[in-house]
Structure 1
Amino acid sequence: MTDIMFACVHNAGRSQMAAAFFNKHRTQDAIKGVSAGTNPASEVHGVVREIMLEVGVDLSNIAPVKLTPEFAKTVSTIITMGCGETCPYVPGVKIVDWKITDPKNKAIDEAREIRDEIETKIKAFIAENNY
């Protein structure tokens, strides 16, 4: 178990961007970023797809996924972004909480700021953990 899960409520914004940036910037192919939500939306937010394309990341074929205890057991770390107490507790899985604003219903400039904040946090996380 070495994969990193990024989790939020709808898996339609923050966690999708975080997993995509983790996979873009990681240096170890054996570790990948995955994402899930406690109450997944039907699709990734349109503004998120748009702003990620601006930085060369295509999320058009990505769909939100349900965060289940079984799925959570397949990773070594879960980074939560707003699901709080609704994220499952899994013994042996490290939980880290990042306070990041939900880009849902935000103006595109605000969504870009959130995207850039997530990418900065991801780069620091990769460097700190040698991923």
Structure 2
Amino acid sequence: MSDIMFACIHNAGRSQMAAAFFNRHKTQPSIKGISAGTNPATEVHPVVREIMLEVGIDLSNMTPVKLTTELAQTVSTIVTMGCGETCPYVPGVKIVDWAIEDPKNKSMDEARVIRDVIEQRIKDFIAENKY
């Protein structure tokens, strides 16, 4: 098995949370969750950093990363969270799409709901795929 990529447009919210939760909950030490965006922001959204700290995950040192075809070729699966047609197609890489709302410009309470949805999706994804 190889790494799993979580992708969204800006790599500043949903995909950062998903990769962090994947790495927290996975049971296979040889697999890691990474994240990237098709049009990366300059930083992780401040509200996302704050709500993740509430659950013990520090994203303060994370920097959004550009999703390139070369990077996508290093993973077995890409889980997209709203980047739609802008995600690169890579032969042999499985694409899974989760329509999850962007936490950007949301209130703390709205962002917490999104965070909790992502964490549950990650737990289900790990259980289904035995990661």
TM bucket normalised to smaller: over 0.9
How far the C-alpha of 1:66 sits from its partner, in A, is 0.1
Percent identity of paired positions between Structure 1 and Structure 2: 80
| 1:11-63 superposed Cα distances (whole Å, 9 cap, x missing partner) | 00000000000000000110000000000000000000000000000000000
* Partner residue, 1:25: 25
Matched to 1:71, the amino acid is L
Deviation per CA, 1:71-115, whole angstroms, max 9, x where unpaired? 000000000001000000000000000000000000000000000
Q: In the aligned structure 1, how far is the partner of 2:30 from the partner of 2:106?
A: 35
Alignment partner of 2:75: what SS? coil
Distance 1:107 1:96 in 2: 28
Instruction: Look up the match of 1:99.
Output: 99
Matched, 1:16 2:16: yes
Q: Aligned letter for 1:106? A: K
Looking at structure 1, the residues matched to 98 and 4 of structure 2 have their Cα atoms a distance apart, in angstroms, of 14
Q: Tell me, what secondary structure is at the counterpart of 1:76?
A: strand
Report how many residues are paired: 131
Shift of 1:65: 0.1
Amino acid corresponding to residue 78 of structure 2 in structure 1: I
TM-score, normalization: structure 1?
0.99
Written as runs of structure 1 = structure 2, the 5 A alignment for 1:1-131 is 2-131=2-131
Taking the aligned partners of 1:129 and 1:82, their CA distance within structure 2 comes to 22
Query: What SS does structure 2 have at the residue aligned with 1:20?
Result: helix
Q: TM-score, normalised by structure 2?
A: 0.99
Q: Which runs of 5+ in 1 are unaligned?
A: none
Q: Secondary structure at the match of 2:7?
A: strand
For 1:78, what is the secondary structure of its paired residue? strand
Amino acid at match of 1:118: I
